[in-house]
Every structure is written in C-alpha cells, then in structure tokens.
A and B are shown apart, each in its own frame.
Chain A
Amino acid sequence: DIQMTQSPSSLSASVGDRVTITCRASQSISSYLNWYQQKPGKAPKLLIYAASSLQSGVPSRFSGSGSGTDFTLTINSLQPEDFATYYCQQSSTTPYTFGQGTKLEIK
C-alpha cells in the first residue's frame, strides 16, 4: 500500500494567517492527490482534486500544489470556518489511502 504522511499533525494559527500543510507519498503518485476538510461530527468535504484543481464552490483561498511524492495544501488568509482537520488522499493506486490528518486549531 502507498503510505501517506502529513505534516504537521497539528497546527495553531490565527485568523488572517497563511498556512501550509504537507503530504508525502511513499512512492510516486503523479498528480493523483486529493485534499479534504473535516469538521467535528461531519463527513469530509473535498477541497482540491488532482493535486491542484479547486473543487467547485470551494473558496479560492485554498490551493494545492505538487506532483510525484510531495504535495502541499495552502490556505491564504485563514477564516474562522477553516479551523478543522485536513486529510490528503492518494488515488493513484488501489487501495486508496489517506494521510493521518492535520488538525488546524485557533491560536
């Protein structure tokens, strides 16, 4: 299985900050990398697909980049509703696997 490792596992930031979350794959996955946001008690929500494509309806302050094994999710100008847990997911090879999550908390 392809292992997905996110860093950091948790992150404290303030409203208006710019934050970056990293996801590393144990082998090359080309651009088959997706990002999700999950709030407590809710299903994950797709933010970014194919490494850098913004899902319809997602604010443009979210962006993704990377290819191969290293990927980043950037959130510009954090808003109060952005405090949540973020997961990456590889869709290059079955079984599809997720990172362990990054919890973004208010400083």
Chain B
Amino acid sequence: QVQLQESGPGLVKPSQTLSLTCTVSGGSISSGDYYWSWIRQPPGKGLEWIGYIYYSGSTYYNPSLKSRVTISVDTSKNQFSLKLISVTAAETAVYYCARAGPLTFDFDYWGQGTLVTVSS
C-alpha cells in the first residue's frame, strides 16, 4: 500500500521560503510509473495544483506560481520536495503531496496534508 507523508515547518514568516518534503513508502518514485505532485488548499477553500515532478527530474509548474516554486526529487531517499519563495499570508494552506498516473493524471494517493501558516 502506497503511503505519502508530508513534513516541514508549520509556520513561515512572510517573504520567507516555504519548504516541505514528501516521503513515499510502499512504492518507488524511481519506478517511473507515476508523476508526483503538490497541491494546496487554503482553509475553507478549494484545491490548487502547484506542480509535478517525474523521477527523472522533469517538472511542470502552475504558471501562477512558476516564478517562485521549485519541486525536486531525491530518489535515493524516495522523497520529493517543494520550495516556495517569497510567501505571503494568502498562501496559508494545507499542503498535500499526491501521486498521479501518467495516462489520466488522476491523484490516486495523497498524503494526509500539512498546515503551513504564513505569519510573522
């Protein structure tokens, strides 16, 4: 059974960098069968897809965040990571990592989510 687990600071100051890691167990990122995504959800609001990474390191970012976001992968640790620079209070959200299949790009496995609050 595939499991994903987010980790990282729960509080980030405005204008600083948000950094999160997703650890995958029960399956290998290196298998190349899936894409690995970050998705966020502000409290009480809807879902926003941030971007994905493939095991090879190829990425695609939501254009609305492209200038500030980096997703990287560490296949030796079976982890992928999110960095978002220059955050604002409006980016307070639950951040999820998720797995997507390459054909229909549906998100079939999700982490439990981690709340990141942007506040001084």
Cβ contact within 8 Å between B108 and A55: yes
- The smallest beta-carbon distance between A103 and chain B, in angstroms, is 11
For chain A, the bracket of interface size reads 20 to 34
Determine the chain A residues whose CB is within 8 A of the CB of B98 once the complex forms: 43
B96 at the interface (CB under 8 A from A): yes
Determine the chain A residues whose CB is within 8 A of the CB of B48 once the complex forms: 98
The segment from A18-26, A66-74, A76-84, A88-96 that touches chain B is: A88-96
The segment from B9-17, B25-33, B56-64, B85-93 that touches chain A is: B56-64
* Partner among B49, B64, B106, B111 whose Cβ is within 8 Å of the Cβ of A50: B106
A100 at the interface (CB under 8 A from B): yes
Determine the chain B residues whose CB is within 8 A of the CB of A42 once the complex forms: 112
Which B80-120 residues sit within 8 Å CB-CB of chain A?
A: 96, 98, 100-101, 104-108, 110-113
Determine the chain B residues whose CB is within 8 A of the CB of A36 once the complex forms: 107
Cβ contact within 8 Å between A46 and B106: yes
Cβ contact within 8 Å between B106 and A89: yes
* CA A33 to CA B105, docked complex, whole Å: 9
Determine the chain B residues whose CB is within 8 A of the CB of A99 once the complex forms: 46
Cβ contact within 8 Å between A97 and B110: no
- The smallest beta-carbon distance between B34 and chain A, in angstroms, is 13
B2 at the interface (CB under 8 A from A): no
Cβ contact within 8 Å between B106 and A98: no
A8 at the interface (CB under 8 A from B): no
* Partner among A1, A44, A94, A101 whose Cβ is within 8 Å of the Cβ of B107: A44
* CA A43 to CA B109, docked complex, whole Å: 9
Per-residue CB proximity of A46-71 to B under 8 Å, as 1/0? 10011000010000000000000000
Cβ contact within 8 Å between B108 and A95: no
- The smallest beta-carbon distance between A11 and chain B, in angstroms, is 16
* Partner among B47, B96, B108 whose Cβ is within 8 Å of the Cβ of A46: B108
- Taking Cβ atoms with an 8 Å cutoff, the residues of A that contact B are 1, 32, 34, 36, 42-46, 49-50, 55, 87, 89, 91, 94-101
